[in-house]
Amino acid sequence: MPEFGRSSSLARGCAVLALVVAGIAGCSGDGGDGSGQAGSRGTTLKLVTGVKSDPFYITMACAAQEQAEKRGVKLTVDGSAQWDVAVQRPIVDSVAATRPDGLLISPVDTAALTPSLSQLQNAGTKVVLVDTTVSDTSIGVSRISSDNEAGGRTAAKALAELMGDKGSAIVISVKPGVSTTDARIKGFSEEMRANHPAVSLLPVLYDNDLPATAASQIQATLAAHPDLGGVFAGNTNTAQGVATGLQAAGRQGKVKVAAFDAEPDEVTALKSGTLDILVAQDPAGIGAQGVDQALAAIEKKPVTAQIGTTMVAITKANIDDPEVSKYIYRAAC
């Protein structure tokens, strides 16, 4: 999501990208079986998001609540104040005590929450993993997320083009062990090494989801590598920090930035030229389909085990296109 004063070829190259499975509906009001019938009265669903104040998860929660209302069921939402297992685990344990019929959850670690989720499943709660997943494939009746590896490859291709296929590039991300961001890094790194060998990849840095840390990391990297030409920011908070660091160093516009997500602050940075490309996900689609899949499992109807949702590349050139702008995240319902 770096900045934009680039050529029309980039605008064409970064137009809307459908990275996923055809035939999966986005925010349909239908039930998991496509019938559109309301869910059973008295059915209770819980949604536990990764970071409750993050517009990505706010957008997901809003869509999930809207879909639950359409389906005639009760959905309550909670989430971590920060991306931390120690914060999310007590929330999961609290949910377990209420024994909901279904749980939609974005686990903040690929392994640490598995015992708690397994206990929930064994007690009869239908678990749907939304956005992030766990390594244990027995957890979750359905897993719904973006194709994050493909998104990473998309970011690499666009960033390499902006860099003129030369110079140094770096990835700054949240922390190791997060399924989505790990996949983005993998896709980005593989694409760069395979198809852009003149771009030198620096070691990945992790900012623990703290913008201030990302800002200091990018400034330190600039000091050590004055040829730095590109940055891939693995999520929203990282992108904000990178933008701040580049502005403080006077390198805004000179170092190209590709980033995930399309939150309000990122969109502002895109329009101002601080960011060049926003690889937007579809959190609304994830939330709505999470409700549908949970209800399908509860009602003993067919469930789709894996669902990939649409992703688009947003640029300064296409942001006003309604088919693109609809993927911009919400700050409130």
Q: Render pLDDT for 196-238 as a digit per residue (tens, 0 to 9).
A: 999 999 999 999 989 999 999 999 999 999 999 999 999 888 9
Task: Give CA–CA dist 268/262, Å, rounded.
Answer: 10
Of 190 and 29, the one with more pLDDT: 190
Reply yes or no on whether the pLDDT at 271 is more than 80: yes
pLDDT bin (cut points 50, 70, 90) of residue 69 is very high
Could you please state the CATH topology (level 3) that the domain comprising 44-147+282-309 is classified under.
Answer: Rossmann fold (3.40.50)
Q: With beta carbons less than 8 A apart as the criterion, state whether 79 and 91 touch.
A: yes
Reply yes or no on whether the pLDDT at 280 is more than 60: yes
State the residue for tokens 């006077």.
Answer: 250
State the residue for tokens 């971590």.
Answer: 80
pLDDT bin (cut points 50, 70, 90) of residue 62 is very high
Average pLDDT, the chain: 86
Domain borders along the chain are 8-17+148-280, 44-147+282-309
- Tell me if residue 13 falls in helix, strand or coil: helix
Q: What is the pLDDT of residue 235?
A: 87
At 92, phi and psi to the nearest 5? -65, -45
Extract the runs of DSSP E, i.e. beta strands, from the chain: 44-49, 74-79, 102-105, 126-130, 142-146, 167-173, 199-201, 205-206, 228-233, 256-260, 277-280, 306-309, 312-314
- Mean per-residue pLDDT, 297-324: 91
Q: What is the pLDDT of residue 4?
A: 25
Superfamily of chain region 8-17+148-280: Response regulator (3.40.50.2300)
Q: Do 8-17+148-280 and 44-147+282-309 agree at the fold level?
A: yes
- DSSP string covering 274-315: S--EEEE--HHHHHHHHHHHHHHHHTT----SEEEE--EEE-
State the residue for tokens 């064994």.
Answer: 122
In terms of average pLDDT, the best of 78-92, 286-300, 303-317 is: 286-300
Q: What is the pLDDT of residue 309?
A: 87
| Residue 333 buriedness (CB in 10 A; 0-12 / 13-18 / 19+) | exposed
- Mean per-residue pLDDT, 114-125: 95
Q: With beta carbons less than 8 A apart as the criterion, state whether 314 and 40 touch.
A: no
Q: With beta carbons less than 8 A apart as the criterion, state whether 97 and 66 touch.
A: no
In terms of average pLDDT, the best of 4-18, 20-34, 153-167 is: 153-167
Q: Render pLDDT for 167-192 as a digit per residue (tens, 0 to 9).
A: 999 999 999 988 889 999 999 999 99
- Mean per-residue pLDDT, 281-290: 95
Q: What is the pLDDT of residue 76?
A: 95
Reply yes or no on whether the pLDDT at 249 is more than 60: yes
Reply yes or no on whether the pLDDT at 12 is more than 60: no
pTM for the whole thing?
A: 0.71
pLDDT bin (cut points 50, 70, 90) of residue 41 is low
- Pairing verdict, β 306-309 and 312-314: unpaired
pLDDT bin (cut points 50, 70, 90) of residue 26 is very low
In terms of average pLDDT, the best of 157-161, 239-243, 256-260, 296-300 is: 296-300
Task: Give CA–CA dist 156/141, Å, rounded.
Answer: 33
The share of the chain scoring above pLDDT 70, in percent, equals 88
Of 11-20, 121-130, 154-163, 305-314, the poorest mean pLDDT is in 11-20
